[in-house]
Amino acid sequence: MKFDFGIDDAPVEAMELLPGQSGRWETVAGKLLLFIVVLLMCIGIVVVYSSGAGWAEKKFADPQYFLWRQLTFAVLGLVVIFAVGHIDYHIFMKVSKLLLFLSIGALGMLLLLKLVGVIHGAARWLGFGPLKFQASDLAKYAIILHFSRLIADKRTRIKDLHTGYYPMLILLMTVVILVALEPNFSTSSLIAFIGFMLMFIGGVRIKYLLVTALPLIPIAAAFAIAAPYRVARLLAFSGGENELSYQVRQALIGLGNGGLFGLGIGASKQRELYLPLSYNDFVFVIIGEEYGFIGALVVLLLFAGLFACGIIIAKHAPDLYGRYVATGVTFAIVLFAFINIAVACHLLPTTGVALPFISYGGTALLFNSLGIGMLVSISRYRKKAEIVQRAEALLDSKGGAS
């Protein structure tokens, strides 16, 4: 039995180009994607300031603390998008293995620091001072990049149990278990979903995925109720009375206060006195309260547009690697947005998942900007490939005429 974890770098030249139509659609999708992300970042800056000014004054004696930090990371995010969007995305194919092993090492380091007592509570952040990042954010994108490479490279062996499925399953479960032990059950579940989704669209046999899911579902359910705080979340969702049920009620009251057109910018009544983390996990509630149903609908439509642009870019990607990366990044961002909004609307239990590009936070915004940059790079690369093909065809035609 031999497991292949993709240790040998697959040459970019060996990637099979996919037939497609002109680059017009994916180029338009790439530009529209940039416009949507900039709008989401602008909404995030305004809403974070509106919802977090009171908390910032209490914690940091500066009501503009969250505003300047969110603005700074938004600018850095745009720099990341344009920088990554102008390079060949195949460079991530070459370093995907390194990124995955670095993320596994970072996750392992967090658990080690927690074990020796350096970190108390949830072990999620690695770094010092302001230079901190969530290792799970790195792990999420490392899984997308390396799985896309493995699936594209192993497309002739992807249906094989030992050389195709088992190596990817071992890598995925290693990351999922390490993230779950932080503990961060919601993020580990979403990473698992993204990994299995990529394997499914990559051609892994459905029976392998189903046989794996059968024991994993009860194990995940047992893990979910093993911690008192997760049980409290489930009780609050089902209508039980505890501290979190109060939070859920205040979120629904905030959404109801907004009505059709909202109370107006900065007029939220829930943001300071009643709703904790109004600038992060429950930022969508503030959008609904201050901008009403119309404002909330606009945000939903922006994420729907982001999803459509990502799928168009994936469909017209110049090779299989680009197709899987674009699909994985698109689903990762939109899935996190859906979970956050569903929690705010009391459609799912509280999870602690932030709203991409809008919730307060630096590293998540930068990693999501990295993903958007890769989508832009894929859309631009298609156009470059077609220009080269047309130039070669023109040269061939002139050569034949002579």
pTM for the model:
0.88
| Residue 295 pLDDT level (bands cut at 50, 70, 90) | very high
The mean pLDDT of the chain is 85
Amino acid residing at 118: V
Q: Give residue 107's pLDDT.
A: 93
- Measured in whole angstroms, the distance separating CA 241 from the mean position of its chain's CA atoms is 32
Q: With a cut of 90, say whether residue 23 has pLDDT above it.
A: no
Alpha helices in 61-125 (DSSP H): 65-85, 90-115
Q: Per the structure block, which two tokens stand in for 397? A: 């035609």
| Residue 388 pLDDT level (bands cut at 50, 70, 90) | low
Residue 372 burial by Cβ neighbours in a 10 Å radius (0-12, 13-18, 19+): buried
141-162 exposure pattern, b = at least 16 Cβ within 10 A, e = fewer:
bbbbbbbbbbbbbbeeebeeee
Q: With a cut of 60, say whether residue 134 has pLDDT above it.
A: yes
What CA dihedral angle connects 179, 126, 343 and 256, to 10 degrees?
Answer: 170
- Measured in whole angstroms, the distance separating CA 228 from the mean position of its chain's CA atoms is 27
Q: Give residue 4's pLDDT.
A: 55
Q: Give residue 20's pLDDT.
A: 44
Q: Give residue 267's pLDDT.
A: 82
Backbone dihedral angles phi then psi of residue 273, each to the nearest 5 degrees: -90, -30
What is the spatial distance between Cα 283 and Cα 194, in angstroms, rounded to a whole number?
24
CA 184-364-151 angle, 5° bins: 80
